[in-house]
Structure 1
């Protein structure tokens, strides 16, 4: 990896660890929407719920994180379930279900392998790691646990289960901004920025994390000619999974 400045922190389970004391249990819901500047009368809307619980797994304290991604198209619904070590947020297990297809993985510092769960489409998957990584599917939670401050740069070792090998991704604190929430409440936030290239071209991402509560409040991305926004909803929003199960 290239030589980094003194202001850069390498974030991984074997380098500088995340501060898991910042991660608060509970339900967090986000309005996620796409905007295509070339189509002035269209928005793509969805809602994500992310529930964080403190629990135990194989006699070890863990975080259990359950996600539901809803939209007007039921075929795009996704449910994921992740288990991470409470001490340092190291991934231990990750599963995703979309439609009738499930992929489930056992995760360690050395490798990731398909789980023995019945009908697991990833049962034969195996990938060895050179070093431990964090679950990229939980980037929003990861950012809440960073030691954010002015001028900082973070290089995070991320991996997206079942895809290409892990890589280091650079995120920079580019400044701060005061967001106005419901009821004219204002919150001072750090702005975290990253950019890179993908098969769809160059992309940029900006994240707003509150300075006091370490809450992930907003995200704005641009890629492939589209903007994508994620906005955290207030606690007044109903918890949808509970109502679907009735």
Structure 2
């Protein structure tokens, strides 16, 4: 017999109602705005998969493991988040992120991809390493130069780590109709600091097979060729589900699995 929380990932019957809201104020997320105390230490797992059109079978199934811990870094309270992404027979990606415990500002972000190697981004020392080699504005290789220039846009500004969106979204000060302008940066990539806009579209109730209901905030994000919708539990402050539509045909899902690793 599965636990009731586990049944959340089996959501097929979706929704009792959606609250309609009018356009609201824009809130620029800044230092100290996130409710970081709500981020609980522990291990979370997500099933991630794709559908080529909504009525097609799922494919590219991955399991994402995300571990949250609270520690000290040079006597500074930090929130560490470790990620491991697995497909059917191997680990594809790992990432370790240290963030200021009060603001969630990134202090260090290290990641590894199976086919490309490692990148280490240090916001305190203001340096980036590719496969253990430090890079700078002197590098001329196109990808390396873009990676460095992207880091320059973020290193001296308040930003949040876009690679940690599933942990950051539940910490926002939600109210219906508000638009959050979030200074997001995915450390170590070639994409620069972005002011991304996410709208609280209302409230929605997810219903499981055993009629257990989860009251959620609905957070949406739209840009060219990409639409995202996140369901965030009001009670437990965690992302329960994400649905993404890419180029009007590819659906991508993230569903939280509730079990201990």
| TM-score, length of structure 1 as denominator length | 0.82
| Structure 1 CA distance for aligned equivalents of residues 210 and 83 of structure 2 | 28
Contact 2:77 2:101 in 1 (8 A): yes
How many residues are aligned here?
221
Query: What do the CA deviations read for 1:79-117 (whole angstroms, capped 9, x no partner)?
Result: 100000101111000011123711111025xx95215x9
The corresponding residue for 1:192 is 219
Q: Displaced runs of 4+ in structure 1, greater than 6 A?
A: none
**Greater RCO structure (CA 8 Å; 6+ sep):** 2
Of 147, 150, 168, the residue aligned with 2:176 is 150
- Counterpart-to-counterpart distance in 1, 2:184 and 2:235: 26
Matches within 5 A, 1:48-197: 48-72=64-88, 74=90, 77-99=92-114, 101-108=117-124, 112-115=126-129, 119-120=131-132, 123-125=134-136, 126=148, 127-128=151-152, 129=154, 131-162=157-188, 163-181=190-208, 183-197=210-224
Q: Per-residue deviation at 1:183?
A: 4.5
The Cα shift of 1:39 comes to 8.2
Alignment partner of 1:226 is 2:246: no
Gaps of 5+ in 2: 1-22, 137-147
Distance 1:24 1:218 in 2: 18
* TM-score between both structures, scaled by the size of structure 2: 0.78
Indicate how the Cα distance of structure 1 residues 6 and 230 shifts in structure 2: closer, same or farther if over 3 A, else same. closer
Matched, 1:47 2:63: yes
8 A contact 1:18–1:145 mirrored in 2: yes
State the distance in 1 between where 2:209 and 2:67 align: 22
2:110 and 2:65 map into 1 onto residues whose CA distance is 16
Q: CA RMSD in A?
A: 2.3
Is residue 234 of structure 2 the alignment partner of residue 211 of structure 1?
yes
Q: Once the 2 structures are TM-superposed, how far is the Cα of residue 11 of structure 1 from its aligned partner? A: 0.7
Query: Greater shift after overlay, 180-189 or 206-215?
Result: 180-189
Q: Where does residue 3 of structure 2 map in the other structure?
A: none
User: Shift of residue 185 of structure 1?
Assistant: 2.1
Residue 149 of structure 1 and its aligned partner are, at CA, apart by 1.4
Structure 1 residue runs without a partner (length 5+): 240-246
Distance in 1 of aligned mates of 2:183 and 2:68: 22
